[in-house]
Amino acid sequence: MKNNLIYAAVFLTTWLVFQIAFVVGVHFQTTSNQTQFLASIEKRIAIDLPKLRLANSKFKTVADARSVSLYLGDLNDLLEQRTSPIYVTSIQGIMAPDVKQDVEKWEAYLQTNDQKIVIQYTKNALFWFDYFSVIPIILAIILSLLYIRKLRSTHKNAVVLQNEQEVAHQHQLIIDLKNKTLSYIDNTTTVVLPNKPFCFYAALVEFCIHDKSANLSNSSDVPDELAQTANKYFYRLIDLGHTKRKRPDFTANLDKTLSEIRSALDDLFVDHQDEKEQFYPPKAQGEGSRSKLHNYALPNLTDDKVVFIGK
């Protein structure tokens, strides 16, 4: 119901804007047409003045009212054929035939060498429906549909963002390549890792999600698939503008890399110790810490517990 009211308000507002613009356009177009026709009428009468028998006090001549009235009748017939918005009602007080006395009249003047000619004319009145058209309605519909689609798209994106935030609240680890950070649950606490441990950990998470039975020992070489995945994330960091350095060797100094990862996770999970284990590469215990029995894989990690951003 609320959305329908918003859509109706959008349409009415848009239509009102276009309707006002249309009314203004009609007004100026009408005024322009009247000005052009009045200039044409004045020119026509000026040309015909020598053959019009008008009164002239200088030469003591009287007007031939009948011929002048017939002239005005012919002139108005011609104007009607041209769909003129203006009609002449009188010249020097001599009325055109069939002129209503109650119509509003305006005056124009022609100045000759010996007298001033007064021309009275009337304008065609515009009716209320002349100010309305389907064009503003059509434009309002088109613009409203575009705007409503934009509103719906924005609302949909907001819902998606809210859903993503709700998903993040479901105790997920967020690996954000855009910001090169690790965060947990609500993204309020983040840790930043150097390029090598960050890329290696992202690769380790992906590797262990796909291979639940992975056996990764400190005493064995890093699997080629794991190293290649780490390289992939490093090149992604380059694309995102985080580094221009030479690609590190992800198979060297494994103990140091894992130590940096554990240190960052200790900081990240300081308030969630009970949930840290599934994300935490296990440490070797007791003597023989580099024993073949030690496995730094993440066997309990599932893909619904991890969110990658910018992958």
Q: Does residue 14 sit in the same domain as residue 115?
A: yes
Helices 2-48 & 134-168 angle (0-180, nearest 10): 150
Q: Does residue 30 sit in the same domain as residue 85?
A: yes
Q: Does residue 182 sit in the same domain as residue 291?
A: yes
Domain boundary, last residue among 130, 155, 183: 130
- Does some domain include residue 163? no
Q: Does residue 121 sit in the same domain as residue 183?
A: no
Residue whose tokens read 């020992």 = 217
Supply the pLDDT for residue 265. 92
Supply the pLDDT for residue 262. 94
Q: 65: pLDDT confidence band, cut at 50, 70 and 90?
A: confident
Q: How far apart are CA 120 and CA 114, in angstroms?
A: 20
Asked if pLDDT for residue 100 goes beyond 50, the answer is yes
Neighbours of 180 (CB within 10 A): 20
Q: Does residue 280 sit in the same domain as residue 177?
A: yes
- Contact between 37 and 84 under an 8 Å Cβ cutoff? The reply is yes
Helices 195-210 & 224-239 angle (0-180, nearest 10): 130
Q: Does residue 117 sit in the same domain as residue 177?
A: no
Parent domain of 279: 173-309
Q: What percent of the chain has pLDDT over 70?
A: 90
3 state SS of 226: helix
Supply the pLDDT for residue 170. 61
Asked if pLDDT for residue 186 goes beyond 70, the answer is no
User: Which tens digits make up the pLDDT trace of 103-122?
Assistant: 788 888 888 887 888 999 99
Contacts of 114 (CB under 8 A, 6+ apart): 56, 58, 59
Domain boundary, last residue among 77, 108, 130: 130
Q: Does residue 184 sit in the same domain as residue 274?
A: yes
Q: Does residue 305 sit in the same domain as residue 180?
A: yes
Per the DSSP assignment, residues forming a β-bridge with 111 are: 116
Number of domains composing the chain:
2
User: Which tens digits make up the pLDDT trace of 196-209?
Assistant: 999 999 999 999 99
Q: Does residue 203 sit in the same domain as residue 264?
A: yes
Q: Does residue 204 sit in the same domain as residue 83?
A: no
- Contact between 295 and 208 under an 8 Å Cβ cutoff? The reply is no
Domain boundary, last residue among 75, 109, 130: 130
pTM over 0.95: no
What is the amino acid identity at position 289? S
| Mean per-residue pLDDT, 211-224 | 85
- Does some domain include residue 161? no
User: Which tens digits make up the pLDDT trace of 256-303?
Assistant: 999 999 999 999 988 888 888 999 998 876 544 455 557 889 988 888
- Does some domain include residue 140? no
Q: Does residue 178 sit in the same domain as residue 301?
A: yes
Q: Does residue 30 sit in the same domain as residue 104?
A: yes
